[in-house]
Amino acid sequence: MTGAEKAGAREAGVLLSLASLPAPHGVGDMGGAARRFAELLAGAGVRYWQILPLNPLGYGNSPYQPYSSFAGDPLYISLDALYGEGLLASAPRPFQRGTKSVAYSAVRSYKEGLLREAFRAFTPGEAFEAFAAQAWVFPYAVFMAFKRANSLRCWNMWPDAQKNWPADRAALDLAPFDEDIRFEMFAQYVFYTQWMALKRYANSLGVQIIGDIPIYVGIDSLDVWAGRENFLLDEKGEPLFVAGVPPDYFSAEGQRWGNPIYDWARLRADGFRFWIDRMRYSGELFDVVRIDHFRGFDTYWKIPAACPTAVEGEWVEAPGYALFDAVLAAAPGLTIIAEDLGMLREEVHALRDHYGFRGMDILQFTVDPAKPLTVGQGNAHRVVYTGTHDNQTIRGWFESQRLLWRLRLRARLLRAGYWRGPVWEKLARLALDSAAEMVILPLADCMGLSDEARINTPGTVGPPNWEWKLAEMAEMERAMPGVGRLVRESGRG
């Protein structure tokens, strides 16, 4: 039975990192292309735009190793919008326009010069003062000013007075850092105002934003520097244990992410204040929050920091119920998607279902030509994806299989009634035809792109991870009518 015959299909969304949008200055931003993408989604009957974390990119340009859980990356600020507000004297010239990957260092260097010009032209007002009064804004600006003064080295390598500033602010005169501190606060204010304007515009079109937050934070972050009591660190500020997962589908040695492990006893003792603040702020920035690695709230893989891989470690229980009781009492309107992938014990599902969070199914992990095509059929309160930012594109995944496997899957799709279009379109239709309440398609899968459009390969660091972007808006313009047709045929429009 195909989508047009189904009565239970609900909503559809598209996954696209903000950085992957085509833009005139080398990286996707919150300007005209983002607004046009929201219009294209609305025109196709797509209700959700899922993004990747917007926090300042840390090690390896990964959005999952951010400098802060609250700050946004100024990389995504629209220079054209600054010019429109009169903060730039002339229209910014194109920079690396039409590229198919993000050259982070070059783009960041180009944009920072113009951001500083806009900063010099900026006059703070009441809105800026209200934003800057938030508890995280000034400490983050100090953190980044110190990082600049230390050639971006991690905070635990700074001079003692800077390293210990959160606990003893009076011990250091900040006057030499004043301009950098004010610049960082300005950049965060502009990021926030541009993002909220983009979100309001998308919402006005009927498109909701699904934000993505990592369960862990990076060691080189405001979160750890100013809240090291919340993490298992030694006296030098180095992690005693790090996060990751044991050997799995992605890696024979497991994944050693390197993020410090929470001191859950300490977090519980102060009522989970860090997590409450983090989730409440995410609820302001996004309509729906997807929490990466949800299983870590039930049990987490605790790797001794001295181990070079994730093979050694132990599963340790986390206080998931106590945490979410506190979070949802403080922020009752949150809508949460739980990334519940992998080999999980039943207690993870029980935790997810206790709070009514939607879980996830990945088509690439469930489709087997030797079995019936039943993706997403077991529980409608799910989100079905063809793949995520950690997967191959659906076309790349199919083309990487053995010939006999591909032939058998083609035959099974034909028997199920999927005749029209290339195989990756049929697989997208299969996901949309599932009983799941929500289906999210990465834009690369909507466009039938191969693995040149892959976002990230887990267990690896550096290029080409996180670098893929669209060269021109015309590519999306051509693809979205087809997406709209698939959405309408599935009954999700």
298, 318 Cβ separation under 8 angstroms: yes
Which pLDDT tens digit goes with each residue over 393-425?
999 999 999 999 999 999 999 998 898 899 999
37, 472 Cβ separation under 8 angstroms: no
First CA to last CA across the chain, in angstroms? 18
HSE, side-chain direction, 13 A CA sphere, residue 411: 9
Which pLDDT tens digit goes with each residue over 43-81?
999 999 999 999 999 888 999 889 999 999 999 999 999
Per-residue pLDDT at 377: 58
Query: Catalytic amino acids?
Result: 292, 339, 390
Residue 492, classed as helix, strand or coil, is: coil
Output DSSP code: residue 348.
H
pLDDT higher than threshold 60 for residue 481: yes
Which segments within 319-381 are labelled E, that is strand?
Answer: 336-338, 359-362
pLDDT higher than threshold 80 for residue 374: no
Per-residue pLDDT at 2: 33
Predicted TM-score of the model (pTM): 0.94
